[in-house]
Structure 1
Amino acid sequence: MKKILLTGGMGFFCSRFYEKYKNEYQILALGKQELDVTNKDKVFNIFSDFKPDYVIHAAAIASTDFCNKNPHIARKINVEGSVNVAEVSNKVGAKLLFISTEQVFNGNTELGPYKEDDTPIPNTVYGQNKLEAEELLKEIIEELWILRFSWLFGMAERNMGMASNILWDTITSLIKGEKIYASPNEFRGMTYVYDMIDNIVKVFDIPYGTYHIGSTNDMSRYDVVKHILIELGLENRVEEILINDEEKYKDNPRDLRLNTDKISKYGIVFPTTKEAISNCLREYRMR
């Protein structure tokens, strides 16, 4: 049985990954309490004892606001911590899968979808951290996959990590009776977390390199929220609930969509965001 070590093991993605594959792989899922990635000696000791075949490095501070306000802390974890994980993975002979982000394109002015060889221009500390880590890791370890994720979504589940996402945030606003503001000038891929989990182990069988991965999406954020409301049976209340925030990104549309043609050639394909939202709600018997 192959061994997988997960950093950020208690998070939104990794906690669900563990439950999905705990009987197919020997998995060590470590949260920040168990593994401080900035402590290289501790990283080495844990990796040496477990001897993973694969390391999925998901540990990061992903809050844009926190990173912008605390750049030194963010870089220590997001960059220096990633370097430690890469160096130790290389020493123990583990293959490394590094989870990066669409946010590396947050400062680009041309419209997406972006290909892997397009020049990223991050304008947030988090995006800058991830891009810097990508470049450093490529110099440290050859057995490396860099996956730039699109925004993950999913439902809250018992004893699972959670993160802000388009579907659950919409449902939460409905529960609270709040209006929902969404821009027609924002475009990004949004991927059902379980679609990502189903596909990510397939990456172990493709060549090393940088890949864009996740669902494609041609709908604006406004249209995505509208689709969610309609799928929930609230089509007659869309105008009451959903506010078309036309001013946001009016002068500079935000487009973080990723072109996933490269990874699709290896049979790693996803439903569109629209299809994935419908599938998720169907799974939870909400449509």
Structure 2
Amino acid sequence: MKKILLTGGNGFFCTRFVERYKNTYEILSTDVPMLDITDEAKVTETIKNFKPDYIIHAAAVASTEFCDKNPELAHKINVTGAINVAKACKQVHGKMIFISSEQVFNGNLEGGPYTEESTPCPDTMYGKNKLEAEDLLKEVLDELWVVRFTWLFGVPERNCGMSPNILWGTLTDILQGKKTKVTTNEYRGLTYVHEVVDQFPMIFEIPYGTYHVGSHNSLNRYDICSLIFKEVGLEHRIDELLEADTEKYKVHNRDIRLCTNKIKSYGLKFSKSTDGIKKCLQLLPYGRSYYKPNNHF
């Protein structure tokens, strides 16, 4: 049985990975306080003791606001921490998957979808951290996959962590009767988390390199939120609970979509974002009818 060590093990992606593959791999899922990735000695000790075949490095501080306000700490965790893991990985002759982000393109003005050959121009500390870590890790490890995720979405699940995402955020606002202002000028790839989890081991078999992972989306953020309303039978409440923000990102549309043709050429397939949303809603414990007016409104 192959061994996999996860960092950021309590997070949205990793907890679902563990639930999916706990009987397929021997998994050591680490997170603070079990493993502080900024402690190089502890990282080395942990990895040497476990001797993983693969390390999936997902640990990071992803809050844009926090990173911008705490640049030194963000760099220590997001960059130095990643290097500590890579160095230890090399010592045990392991292979590493570094989870990066579409956010490396959040300062680009030309608009996506971006390929792996596009030049990233991040304008936030988090995006800069991810891009710097990508480059430095390539100097440490040859056996490295850099995987840039689109924005993952999903709903709460037993024994799994959560993170802010467009689907669950919209559903929560609906249940709370909260009116939300949503930009019409932002375009992002949106991917159902289980489509990534279910295909993830295929990455172990493809050539090392940088890959964009996730679904294609042609709708702006406001239209995606409107779609969610329609899918749960609340189209009649869109005007009441959704307000179109036409000013945010008006000067330059925020378009950080990724072209995922490269990884698709190796057999990984993803639904369109709209289809992924519909698929996820169908799998809710009570189905989409949970949000229907007769039940809650």
TM over 0.5: yes
SS in 2 for 1:269: coil
Provide Cα deviations, 1:211-257, integer angstroms capped at 9, x if missing partner. 00001101100111011010011011111111111111111100000
Who is 1:286 aligned against?
Answer: 288
| Alignment pair present for 1:211 and 2:245 | no
| 2:232 aligned partner, one-letter code | L
- State the Cα distance separating 1:159 from its structure 2 match: 3.0
Who is 2:72 aligned against?
Answer: 72
Who is 1:173 aligned against?
Answer: 173
Q: How large is the Cα RMSD of the aligned pairs?
A: 0.8
Alignment map for 1:39-78 (pairs within 5 Å): 39-78=39-78
Alignment map for 1:1-287 (pairs within 5 Å): 1-284=1-284, 285-286=287-288
Q: Distance in 2 between matches of 1:236 and 1:226?
A: 10
| 1:8 aligned partner, one-letter code | G
Q: Distance in 1 between matches of 2:175 and 2:218?
A: 28
| 1:156 aligned partner, one-letter code | P
| 2:40 aligned partner, one-letter code | K
- State the Cα distance separating 1:37 from its structure 2 match: 0.5
- State the Cα distance separating 1:203 from its structure 2 match: 0.3
Q: Distance in 2 between matches of 1:281 and 1:222?
A: 18
Q: Distance in 1 between matches of 2:277 and 2:260?
A: 19
Who is 2:294 aligned against?
Answer: none
Moved beyond 4 Å, runs of 4+: none
Provide Cα deviations, 1:129-154, integer angstroms capped at 9, x if missing partner. 00000000000000000000001111
Q: In structure 2, list runs of 5 or more residues that go unmatched.
A: 290-297
TM-score if structure 2 supplies the norm length?
0.95
TM-score if structure 1 supplies the norm length?
0.99
- State the Cα distance separating 1:32 from its structure 2 match: 1.3
| 1:79 aligned partner, one-letter code | V
Q: Distance in 2 between matches of 1:34 and 1:211?
A: 30
Provide Cα deviations, 1:256-276, integer angstroms capped at 9, x if missing partner. 000001111001110011000
Q: Distance in 1 between matches of 2:275 and 2:174?
A: 21
Q: In structure 1, list runs of 5 or more residues that go unmatched.
A: none
| 1:280 aligned partner, one-letter code | C
Q: Distance in 2 between matches of 1:4 and 1:24?
A: 10
SS in 1 for 2:136: helix
Aligned length, in residue pairs: 287
- State the Cα distance separating 1:157 from its structure 2 match: 2.1
| 1:19 aligned partner, one-letter code | E
Equivalent pairs: percent with the same residue?
Answer: 55
